[in-house]
């Protein structure tokens, strides 16, 4: 079995990201254009330099709208959908397009226009019953992830009164980070009391345990590592890309627990192996992870090896994942406050890692970061899609 | 010997009564919840009737109701697949009159006697609506009964019957009406029920040279409590001969009223007892059963006694109004795909999963490739509707797509005791997290899941074991 390695073969030379939010005044095309042109300008290239593109979106089910929005002239475009890992998977396939030698300069762009749907949240909860196409009894994503929260409390012996403040700390951290980010959907800091006392959604998850539902778009320009220098000095290098898809094991099998997300573990393992990472908590400077719900971020800390099993609550209490902590988690505000336009989120995460590596993250800047990680988890605990991408600074090329 | 082999009943958990804000009647009545209807109650009663019996030996199902879910579409077929009967069976709906329940029972006996079937299941269920807040609304209740008819091991035999057909507008519902109509009350009672029933019962006694003193128990339909009492008196019955007509606990359950009383009577019956059943509506049916020696070894399931004892007083009449009068709309919104419903009949209606013949893992939904050992097409079908399990993890969902009065909904992962895990809604539950602990035992219940596209979409939910609702002192 071939075990290829993407490490140091592909470079990111330009990125763009629009302000996420309820962008009532912007169409999907507007956001694609804004994200793409910021990326073009950042990379110092012209639209015509793009040889191929991968377009990530869950709602826009075609690749053609990207060509139409950007007037890409008869270029190869592939639309990618992989739940919440959609943008990351578009990026991953764009990396392969370059690494294969097929193309020199390509683009990955994610875009989602959720706020034209006339509903809050991501929908769900109507509840069909039975049948391959109807088989989710009720409840939106908040319900699915609350199942994990309840099981976690049960397994590790947490009461609601003890556990809720820990979840609240995650929301407080991500809101604080978002308050420092002019592109975030929500830019206000909140208090632990606010998070704890917010209206209940799915016990124990309240409103502030849930991420924002937003419009947004983000893009990356990718080239071969050996060509990157001709575009800029402070490019970033892709160190590893992992992707793992669950088969609903946790929904159907009693021997699967629901206090971890196996796709995350597996995707992390792939990416760490490619990047040569042995101790992620020590080696990684910052991580943009899929905090669709507070409990998700908590469990991801354990799944990605940032804390031992069952210890994430302690690490969170100790502030280890704060902006100035040992390993900054969601320095840009995360899904919680940056917002979650599904098919754009993965590239938004890479945007923060990219800017941090270049020292351009403003008040959120970490001191000399060299290695950053992004993570997505799509669908519900017990199954789902996990993706992990690791990027490092250009001058860490010799890092191993 | 042809007769009743087994019986079952269903009474919805929810009651309107003294603790119900806005409820004016001194009586309690049972009301189908928003996810229950004539169909789900019939299925529940049928499963109560069958218990652990082999469902493959049942040769047909007659479904009786005046409130079947469709005007054009057989209800008996839906009930049959939910109960998990064979495909090569007789199915028929009996409707349009409150006599249809007892009528179906008699037809089933005739069918078995004629040799067309060896065992037939019949269900009688009704969810009739009265004008909101009006007299009928206070009288009508919801419930169901079911009987297995067969030619061996019978606990009661049909000894005699007499029927009269009588064209009359006393209670009726046109093809477009939602609520039951009635006419001027004195005329309806005195020229209808009170005149017809004594006359027909008198003719029955004359025909068979019997008198009321020959009867052990009478399951007498009544329009309402007062008129029921007056007719019982007019028939010359002693109070102990009159089966409780359920007006103070369940209400008038329409076509299920006499069958449910028959279930109650059988629960207390001794060999040799004679039970006279009287059904009324566009005429009158009088049917006499005699209890056999087999009753002494017969073990009922929940039947009427447990279902009557297990109850939850619904807090608010307005909320009842909401789910009874609005949640039944099938015409707005999109519905499930007819092709999926047809393709997945075992999965959806019978709650059949699969069991891997290689590793033994039970799985739902049904799989072709095993979720555990990945063996392909090594599965046998496995019914899960009659299996209990425990809550693996659960949530209280405050934003669930269910009617507001059901929030917070409980959504959970069920680990069946026989193996297998799946995600379900928990219905008929208490609303606090401590009332639905991880590890709590649950059972399956057939419910109306969602309506749209003209389709009542049924599937399974789970519920706390019904006996847990029986008040401690009544246990």
Mean pLDDT of chain B: 94
- pLDDT band of residue A2 (cuts 50, 70, 90) is low
pLDDT band for position A133 (cuts 50, 70, 90):
very low
A340 catalytic, yes or no? yes
Minimum-distance CB partner of A138 among B347, B411, B421: B411
pLDDT tens-digit map of B121-163: 999 999 999 988 889 999 999 999 999 999 999 999 999 999 9
Please say whether the beta carbons of B220 and B278 come within 8 A: yes
pLDDT confidence of residue A127: 40
Please tell me the distance from the alpha carbon of residue B465 to that of residue B305, in angstroms, as a whole number: 15
Interface A–B counts its CB contacts (< 8 A) at 150
A199 CB within 8 Å of a chain B CB: yes
Give the Cα separation of B54 and B52 in Å (integer): 7
- Is A290 catalytic? The answer is no
Q: Is A269 on the interface with B (CB under 8 A)?
A: no
The ipTM, to two decimals, is: 0.84
Average pLDDT over residues B257-272: 98
Least confident segment among A123-127, A344-348, B213-217 = A123-127
* Bridge pairing between strands B421-426 and A216-224: unpaired
Q: For B232, how many CA atoms within 13 A lie in the half-sphere containing its CB?
A: 25
Of A137, A205, A247, the CB nearest to B424: A137
Nearest CA in chain A to B397: A202
- Three-state SS for A199-224 is CEEEECEEHHHECCCCEEEEEEEEEE
Q: Is the peptide bond before A204 cis (omega within 30 degrees of 0)?
A: yes
In this prediction, residue B132 carries a pLDDT of: 84
The whole-number average pLDDT for the span B105-121 is 97
Q: Which residues of B52-80 are buried (b: 16+ CB within 10 A; e: fewer)?
A: eeebeebbbbbbbbbbbbeeeeebbbbbb
Distances (CA, A) of A105 to A11, A67, A331: 10, 16, 29
pLDDT-based confidence at B404, cuts 50/70/90? Answer: confident
pLDDT-based confidence at residue B473 (cuts at 50, 70, 90): low
Of B348, B372, B395, the CB nearest to A143: B395
Q: Is A151 on the interface with B (CB under 8 A)?
A: yes
| Percent of chain A residues past pLDDT 70, beyond the cut | 92
- Residues in chain A with CB shorter than 8 Å from the CB of B371 are 247-249, 252-253
Residue in A131, A136, A254 nearest the CB of B347: A131
**pLDDT band, residue A138 (cuts 50/70/90):** low
Chain B contact for A232 (CB, 8 A cutoff): no
Could you tell me if A133 lies within 8 Å of chain B, comparing CB atoms?
A: yes
| Cβ contact, residue pair A131, B394, below 8 Å | no
User: Among the options A142, A260, A340, A375, which is catalytic?
Assistant: A340
Number of H helices, E strands in chain A: 14, 12
In percent, how much of chain A has pLDDT > 90? Answer: 89
Q: Is A249 on the interface with B (CB under 8 A)?
A: yes
List chain B residues with CB under 8 Å of A147: 393-395, 411-413
d(CA B180, CA A237): 75
pLDDT score for A212: 86
**Interface contact flag, B423 A127, Cβ < 8 Å:** no
Which of A81-85, A114-118, B437-441 has the least mean pLDDT? A114-118
Using a CB-CB cut-off of 8 Å, the residues of chain B touching A250 are: 421
CA gyration radius, chain A: 20
Contact A151 B438 (CB under 8 A): yes
Q: What pLDDT score was predicted for residue A326?
A: 97
Mean of the pLDDT values across residues B209-224? Answer: 97
Sort out which chain B residues have CB atoms less than 8 A from A121's CB and list them: 399
Cβ distance A150 to B394 less than 8 Å, yes or no, reads yes
Contacts of B327 in chain A (CB under 8 A): none
Which residue is catalytic, options A17, A84, A95, A210? A84
pLDDT at position B370 over 80: yes
Give the tens place of pLDDT for each residue, B57-89: 999 999 999 999 999 999 999 999 999 999 999
To the nearest whole Å, the CA of B88 is away from the closest chain A CA by 24
pLDDT in tens, B381-396: 999 999 999 999 999 9
CA closest to A126 among chain B residues: B401
**DSSP state letter for A82:** B
Distance to chain B for A129, nearest Cα, Å? 6
| Cβ pair A129:B347 closer than 8 A | no
Whether A136 shows a pLDDT value over 70: the answer reads no
Are the beta carbons of B397 and A139 separated by less than 8 Å? yes
Rounded to the nearest angstrom, the minimum Cα separation between B349 and chain A is 8
* Per-position b or e across A384-397, b if 16+ CB within 10 A of its CB: bbbbbbbbbbbebe
Mention every residue, 6+ apart, whose C-beta is less than 8 A from residue B130.
B136, B137, B138, B139, B140, B179, B180
A176-185, B200-209, B256-265, B423-432: lowest mean pLDDT where?
B423-432
Give B63's strand partners. B93, B123
CA distance linking residue B258 with residue B122, whole number of Å: 14
pLDDT band for position A177 (cuts 50, 70, 90): very high
Which of A122, A132, A134 best probes binding to B when mutated, by most B CB atoms within 10 angstroms?
A: A134
- Once rounded to an integer, what is the mean pLDDT over residues B301-310? 98
How far is A350 from A336, CA to CA, in rounded Å? Answer: 16
Quickly list DSSP for B378-399: -EEEEE-TT--EEEEEEEEETT
pLDDT at A95 over 90: yes
Sign of the Cα torsion B343, A81, A300, A9 reads positive
User: If you measure CA to CA, which chain A residue comes closest to B413?
Assistant: A251
Residues of B in contact with A248 (CB under 8 A): 371
How close B396 comes to chain A (CA, Å)? 5
A196 touches chain B (CB under 8 A): no
The pLDDT score that the predictor gives to residue B98 is 97
Domains of chain B: 3-324 (3.40.47.10), 340-474 (no CATH)
**Chain A residues within an 8 Å CB radius of B345:** none
Local structure of residue B438 (DSSP, 8 states): T
Q: Sort out which chain A residues have CB atoms less than 8 A from B461's CB and list them.
A: 137
DSSP state of B8: E
Determine which helix (DSSP H) or strand (DSSP E) holds B47, and give its type and residue range.
Answer: helix B38-50
A-interface mutation test, from B359, B366, B421, most A Cβ less than 10 A away: B421
Burial class (CB in 10 A: 0-12, 13-18, 19+), B241: middle
pTM for the complete prediction? 0.90
pLDDT at B80: 98
B chain contacts of residue A154, beta-carbon cutoff 8 Å: 393, 438
pLDDT value at residue A126 = 40
Q: A338 vs A168, A350, A351, B47, CA distance in Å?
A: 17, 13, 12, 52
């Amino acid at each position: 079995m071939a075990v290829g390695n993407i490490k140091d073969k592909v470079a990111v030379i330009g990125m763009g990201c629009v302000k996420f939010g309820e962008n009532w005044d912007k169409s999907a095309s507007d956001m694609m254009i804004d994200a793409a042109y910021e990326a073009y300008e950042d990379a110092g290239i012209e639209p015509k330099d793009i040889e191929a593109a991968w377009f990530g979106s869950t709602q826009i089910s075609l690749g053609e709208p990207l060509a139409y929005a950007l007037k890409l002239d008869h270029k190869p475009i592939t639309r990618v959908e992989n739940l919440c890992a959609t943008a990351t998977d578009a990026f991953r396939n764009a990396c392969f397009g370059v690494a294969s030698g097929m193309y020199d300069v390509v683009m990955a762009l994610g875009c989602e226009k959720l706020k034209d749907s006339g509903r809050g949240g991501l929908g769900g909860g109507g509840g069909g019953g039975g049948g391959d196409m109807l088989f989710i009894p009720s409840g939106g994503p908040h319900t699915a992830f609350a199942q994990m929260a309840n099981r976690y409390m049960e397994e590790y012996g947490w009461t609601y009164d003890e556990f809720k403040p820990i979840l609240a700390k995650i929301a407080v951290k991500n809101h604080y980070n978002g308050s420092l980010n002019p592109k975030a959907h929500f830019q206000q800091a909140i208090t632990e009391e606010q998070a704890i006392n917010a209206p209940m959604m799915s016990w124990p998850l309240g409103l502030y345990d849930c991420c924002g539902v937003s419009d947004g778009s983000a893009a990356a320009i990718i080239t071969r590592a050996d060509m990157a220098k001709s575009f800029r000095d402070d490019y970033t290098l892709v160190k590893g890309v992992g992707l793992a898809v669950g088969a609903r094991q946790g929904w159907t099998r009693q021997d699967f627990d629901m206090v971890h997300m196996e796709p995350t573990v597996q995707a992390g393992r792939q990416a760490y192996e490619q990047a040569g990472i042995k101790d992620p908590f020590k080696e990684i400077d910052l991580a943009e992870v899929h905090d669709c719900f507070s409990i998700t971020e908590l469990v991801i800390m354990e799944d990605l090896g940032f804390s031992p099993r069952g210890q994430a609550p302690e690490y969170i209490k100790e502030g280890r994942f704060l902006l100035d902590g040992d390993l900054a988690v969601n320095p840009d505000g995360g899904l919680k406050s940056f917002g979650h336009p599904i098919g754009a989120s993965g590239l938004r995460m890479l945007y923060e890692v990219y800017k941090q590596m270049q020292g351009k993250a403003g008040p959120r800047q970490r001191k000399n970061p060299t290695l950053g990680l992004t993570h997505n988890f799509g669908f519900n605990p017990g199954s789902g899609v996990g993706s992990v991408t690791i990027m490092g600074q250009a001058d860490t090329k010799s890092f191993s | 010997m042809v007769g009743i082999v087994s019986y079952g009943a269903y009474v919805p958990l929810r009651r309107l009564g003294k603790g119900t804000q806005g409820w004016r009647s001194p009586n309690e009545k049972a009301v189908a919840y928003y996810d229950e209807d004539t169909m789900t109650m019939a299925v529940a009663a049928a499963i109560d009737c069958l218990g652990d019996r082999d469902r493959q030996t049942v040769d047909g199902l007659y479904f009786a109701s005046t409130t079947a879910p469709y005007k054009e579409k057989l209800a008996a077929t839906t009930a049959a697949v939910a109960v998990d009967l064979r495909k090569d069976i007789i199915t028929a709906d009996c409707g349009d009159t409150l006599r249809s329940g007892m009528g179906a029972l008699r037809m089933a006996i005739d069918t078995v006697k004629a040799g067309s079937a060896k065992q037939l299941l019949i269900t009688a269920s009704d969810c009739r609506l009265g004008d909101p807040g009006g007299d009928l609304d206070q009288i009508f209740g919801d419930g169901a009964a079911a009987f297995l008819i067969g030619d061996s091991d019978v606990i009661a035999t049909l000894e005699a019957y007499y029927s009269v057909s009588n064209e009359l507008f006393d209670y009726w519902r046109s093809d477009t009406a939602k609520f039951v109509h009635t006419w001027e009350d004195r005329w309806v009672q005195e020229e209808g029920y009170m005149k017809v029933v004594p006359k027909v019962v008198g003719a029955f006694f004359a025909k068979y040279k019997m008198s009321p003193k020959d009867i052990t128990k009478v399951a007498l339909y009544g329009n309402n409590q007062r008129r029921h009492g007056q007719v019982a008196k007019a028939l010359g019955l002693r109070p102990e001969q009159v089966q409780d007509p359920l007006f103070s606990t369940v209400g008038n359950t329409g076509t299920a009223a006499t069958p449910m009383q028959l279930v109650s009577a059988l629960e207390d019956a001794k060999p040799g007892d004679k039970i006279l059943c009287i059904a009324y509506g566009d005429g009158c049916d009088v049917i006499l059963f005699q209890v056999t020696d087999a009753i002494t070894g017969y073990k009922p399931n929940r039947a009427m006694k447990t279902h009557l004892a297990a109850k939850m007083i619904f807090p608010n009449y307005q909320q009842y109004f909401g789910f009874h009068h609005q949640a039944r709309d099938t015409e707005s919104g999109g519905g499930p795909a007819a092709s999926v419903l047809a393709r997945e009949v075992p999965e959806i209606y019978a709650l059949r999963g699969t069991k891997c013949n290689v590793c033994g893992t039970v799985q739902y939904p049904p799989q072709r490739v095993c979720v555990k050992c990945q063996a392909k097409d090594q599965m046998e079908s496995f019914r899960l509707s009659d299996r209990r399990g425990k809550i693996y993890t659960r949530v209280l969902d405050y934003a669930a797509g269910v009617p507001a009065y059901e929030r917070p909904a409980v959504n959970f992962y069920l680990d069946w005791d026989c193996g297998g895990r799946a995600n379900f809604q928990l219905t008929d539950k208490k609303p606090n997290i401590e009332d639905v602990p991880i590890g709590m035992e649950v059972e399956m219940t057939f419910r109306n899941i969602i309506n749209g596209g003209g389709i009542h979409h049924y599937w399974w939910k789970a519920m706390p074991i019904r006996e847990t609702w029986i008040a401690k002192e009544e246990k």
